[in-house]
Amino acid sequence: MAQGQISQVKNPAAKTGRVSGRRSLIRRWMRKIHKSRPLAFLLLLLISAVILLPIVFTFLYSFFPKSEISAFLNQRGSYDSAKWMDVLFSPAMVSLRQYYTILIEEPQYLQLFCNSVLYAFGILAGQALVIPLTAYGLSRFTFKGRDALFFAVLMLMLLPFQVTMAPSVMTLRAIGLLNTPWAVILPMVFSPFYLFLLRQFMIAIPGEIVEAGQMDGAGTFRTYIHVMLPVCKPILCAAAALSFADCWNLVEQPLIYLTNRSMQPLSVMFNQISDESAGVAFAGSALYLLPMLLIYIYFQDDIVLGVQLSELK
């Protein structure tokens, strides 16, 4: 009895010592992190500057006179690749001539820009109809072959475009959609990655939320519209913003599926336009970047929240 009482007295002290040791270790780590915070801030500032510098110069040079930009780009070819190239920080005169040339005098840019808008929003509209509903079915319903179907989705997500390119061309040619806008839009409507993202988010939503909607008299479709979609708003906005970036930067699909130059998006033809219209490259680049910047600024909170919630799930 005496030994048992002694061990009972000693054990709390040993546990208290271990807890205090862990706390002191955590405090030491926190002090190290606090001391290294200025260094981490400077490192992040440097990385941000390197990433944002090309965008800043793109918008800055878009307000240079066309003649000054043409001379600057022609001078670029006389520099050796091992030498430092001069950088212009301010124009001799602020000018909107580049924008006037590319928007008014040369309507080809606007036509290609409209093609990009058509493809991007056409794909997004199709994905908004197909992907959330499919993810809802794969996450909330149990049926024979569900896991095999989801495994097939994962396999499609891992396949690169080069593997499915030839079968897609043959299928589009057989149904008469090759060299039409539908050839770009329809294959992109089913995106395995965003289907996987939404399905993983929906499957972790507590069943009590769905049951509460059903107890109020909501059917399957009303539960999907009025319960699941509002709960999934962060991940839906994040997926929409990321998908818009993918659609806006399409290159391989239009090159393979479209032979008519007037139907190409701006992402494919931009390099040729810049070569043909000297001095307007930066204005064209600025206008090309603007939609993606606006989309990110508008959805940035939803993108961060959606990614964080996906990690927590």
In terms of Cβ atoms closer than 10 Å to its own Cβ (0-12, 13-18, 19+), residue 137 is middle
Per-residue pLDDT reduced to its tens digit, 219-272 = 778 888 888 888 888 888 888 888 998 899 888 888 889 888 888 888 887 766
Secondary structure (3-state) at 1: coil
* pLDDT score for 185: 92
Q: Are residues 125 and 271 in the same domain?
A: yes
Q: Is 67 inside a domain boundary?
A: no
- Lowest mean pLDDT, pick from 55-59, 77-81, 214-218, 226-230: 77-81
pLDDT at 122: 93
Q: Please indicate, yes or no, whether residues 135 and 276 belong to a single structural domain of this protein.
A: yes
CATH of the domain at 302: 1.10.3720.10
Q: Is residue 74 part of a domain?
A: no
pLDDT over 70 (residue 214): yes
Phi then psi for 204, rounded to 5 degrees?
-90, -5
In a domain, 301, yes or no: yes
Phi/psi at 232 (nearest 5 deg)? -90, 10
Crossing angle of helices 181-189/108-140, nearest 10°? 30
Residue 312 has pLDDT above 50, yes or no: no
Do 264 and 131 belong together in one domain?
A: yes
> Which range is least confidently modeled, 161-170, 198-207, 282-291, 304-313?
304-313
pTM of the model: 0.75
Question: Which three-class secondary structure state does DSSP give residue 99?
Answer: helix
Contacts of 61 (CB under 8 A, 6+ apart): 69, 72, 88, 282
Q: Give the residue carrying structure tokens 């007037």.
A: 262
Residue 19 lies in a domain: yes
Domain containing residue 174: 106-312
One-letter amino acid at 88 equals L
Rounded CA separation 95/224 (Å): 52
Residue 283: per-residue pLDDT: 82
Predicted local distance difference test score (pLDDT) of residue 28: 66
Structure-token pair, residue 92: 């001799």
Please check whether residue 278 lies inside any domain of the structure. yes
Q: Is residue 142 part of a domain?
A: yes
Same domain, 207 and 279: yes
* Residue 153 shares a structural domain with residue 57: no
The pLDDT of residue 129 is 92
Q: What is the per-residue pLDDT across 99-154, written as a single tens digit (0 to 9) for each?
A: 888 888 777 888 888 899 999 999 999 999 999 999 988 888 888 888 888 888 88
Number of domains observed in the structure of the chain: 2
